[in-house]
Amino acid sequence: MSGPLRPKFSEGQILGAADLNAQVEYERLGSVLHERTEHMWGVAQGLALTPGPNPNKDAAGIPYIDVSLSPGRAVDQLGRSLVVTAAIPLEPKTFRDQIATQDKNKLYPVYVQSALVDKVGDTQPGKCGVSLVTRQEESVQVSFGNPGSEIGVLDREQVTVDQGFGQQTSDDKVLVGWVQFDPTISNNEGRFTAVATQGNGVSIRYVGVVASDVVAGGGTLTLHTRPSGQRFMVSITENPQGGCLLAFGKQTGSDPIVPTFTVDDKGNVTYAGALTPSPIAKTLAESGFAFDGVTLPLPAGVTQKDVDDKKVRLHMLVTPVYLTPTTVTFSDGTTGRAAPFVETCSVDPDTRVVSCSVRWVGRTDTTAPFVDVLQPNACRYLIVASGG
């Protein structure tokens, strides 16, 4: 078999439990595979770690908080939907049972995981009052982990289609946040003291979309950083005249975007801030002669701070001074005619220090071996500053 098996019914057919369960399984598998292949797993809505309305204090006056997991929905790595319909209190005892060593200064990850719970249905007619399991609750369980365990959970990838529903493991969890726990509060029973949405260098993972093409049906495509309230927004909007505008900025609720950056269909760019590096506004140049080891001067009107702040770009060109054969003293102390060969002629792009040297090669007479000597040399330079 290469595809899902779907029940097919006919008139007069006697339906058994297996037939009806197969129909339910078919629908469940379709939902799981959709979530697994067209979406990225994570928190979809809610499931926030929420402190109680008022901070509490133990007998010694040390403050602590009660924490609950708010209603919401998530999708795990297997593509299963995790739904919480009522707030779930986080129990300090559960934390103590699951975390052997507690440090009040550390952040401990909190997870939700699928948990199927069989439920007894109504008494069946003709069954002598025997109660049967006729329901299965797709519940969730809350668990805690040691700092760092969230890395392995977040790095897990969704299972492939050929694995069907997949095999649940202890790592098929969804991270919903972090808590701090002080084990010394309430006569060493311990209480929660803080919650967080970021911890140990990572953040909560939220659901995403797997798509190579996103199409807007009404001519406007938007991306928001949050579902509501004050948020940032990117929009691509067509206008009745056949043009289009790409905009980025802030938006409050359903109010119009307040753009700080826009690009229209003709390529015109409008921005409220500053471009870095700055666009070329003017060009200044300096030229002359420099010797090996000399720092090239900046053009008049340009300061080192302008360079350090990247307000200008420097373009530097050096060329060695032309030399003709002449008589030199070689490195072995002898003297003779020699021809010049440029050893190096460059400038350091960060310090603007010139390196320029010439190697003189020759011999004292026609029968002597060639000897040489390396000497510093001069060069011509051109330095151009463009920008602010």
Domains of the chain: which residue ranges? Answer: 17-208, 214-271, 282-387
User: How high is the pLDDT of residue 241?
Assistant: 87
Q: Is the separation of the CB atoms in 87 and 71 below 8 Å?
A: yes
CB atoms within 10 A of CB 267: 6
Model pLDDT for residues 62-101, shown as the tens digit of each residue: 899 999 999 999 999 999 999 999 999 999 999 999 999 9
Give the Cα separation of 81 and 35 in Å (integer).
8
Q: Is the separation of the CB atoms in 5 and 24 below 8 Å?
A: no
Question: What is the rounded average pLDDT for all residues in the chain?
Answer: 89
The residue type at 227: P
Model pLDDT for residues 283-329, shown as the tens digit of each residue: 889 999 999 999 999 999 889 998 998 888 899 999 999 999 999 88
Q: Is the separation of the CB atoms in 116 and 136 below 8 Å?
A: yes
Give the Cα separation of 271 and 44 in Å (integer).
34
Give the Cα separation of 144 and 179 in Å (integer).
9
Share of the chain residues as helix, strand and coil, in percent rounded to the nearest 5? 10, 45, 45
Give the Cα separation of 210 and 44 in Å (integer).
15
DSSP track, 200-262:
TTEE--B-EE--S----TTSEEEEESSSSSEEEEEEEEE-TTS-EEEEEEEEETTSPPEEEEE
| Per-residue pLDDT tens digits of the chain, which is 388 residues long | 577 888 888 898 888 888 888 888 888 888 888 888 899 999 999 999 999 887 788 888 889 999 999 999 999 999 999 999 999 999 999 999 999 999 999 999 999 998 888 777 665 555 555 567 677 778 899 999 999 999 988 888 878 888 878 777 777 899 999 999 999 998 889 999 999 999 999 999 999 998 899 998 889 999 999 888 899 999 999 988 889 999 999 999 888 899 999 999 999 999 998 877 666 567 889 999 999 999 999 999 889 998 998 888 899 999 999 999 999 888 888 888 899 999 999 999 999 999 999 999 998 877 788 889 999 999 999 999 987 6
User: How high is the pLDDT of residue 163?
Assistant: 82
Longest CA span, the chain:
126
Q: Is the Cα torsion angle 290, 295, 296, 301 positive or negative in sign?
A: negative
User: How high is the pLDDT of residue 269?
Assistant: 93
For residue 22, give the DSSP letter.
H
The values of phi and psi at residue 20, to 5°, are -70, -40
User: How high is the pLDDT of residue 169?
Assistant: 77
Token pair, residue 234, equals 């990117």
